[in-house]
Amino acid sequence: MRNPIPHIIHNNTFWVSPDRCLFWEEQNILILADMHLGKSGHFRKAGIPIPQDVQKADLQRLITQLLFFKADRVIIVGDFTHSTSNKELELFKKWRNDFPLFRFDLVKGNHDILEDHWYIETGIILHKKELVINDFCFRHEAINTDPLENPSCASFTFSGHVHPGIHISGRGKQALRLPCFYFTREHCILPAFSKFTGTYRVKPKKGEVIYMITGTDLVRKG
């Protein structure tokens, strides 16, 4: 993995990783979104031949990031799982037994439809709508952080759900859409951690920052 890039928010350092996650240095927390564990199994049940190696590679990247940053806690801002139980979810249970000391917090997303007891048995701490730590709020979907409209909301929010991507055009009508981290003054939308997802095109405004993921590298704009 190439070196991550530091991004400062309210005097806290968040390391932006080309492996689609953030590391919060002051709290020793790895932050990610939209892992969609079990998605390939869901498609296989529907008769679409998606190899299980897709999800195994996502789990391996998660292990790599935990060890690289020496994190002791993970916050997942929604859509950790994709659908009903299947073999891939059982694979995660076995993986979790091998790494029991990491604390896992999950802010539930629209795809996290398993019964609560599955998450509890797997050592995952559930948060129905949001998790707030100091000045930072973790949600699956974005929220207006204007204190006049949401007085209980923290001053900066991390979310997922959208799977942000940036559109790159070249000569000869060539075009490419790359996953990205999307930072505004009050909000960060994380890319989907799973590579088995699409992207939604975002259009940054003046003063906003994106980090494009180009394979193993990051490119900052803004």
Res. 43 pLDDT band, cuts 50 70 90: very low
Q: pTM, whole model, 2 decimals?
A: 0.88
Report d(CA 21, CA 27) in Å as an integer. 15
CATH number where 173 lies: 3.60.21
| pLDDT computed for residue 200 by the predictor | 84
209 lies in which domain range? 5-221
Report d(CA 208, CA 35) in Å as an integer. 25
Report d(CA 216, CA 171) in Å as an integer. 24
Report d(CA 84, CA 76) in Å as an integer. 18
Residue type, 185: R
pLDDT tens per residue across span 175-218 = 788 999 999 999 999 999 998 677 888 999 999 999 999 988 99
Q: Rounded mean pLDDT of 37-53?
A: 52
Q: How many domains does the chain have?
A: 1
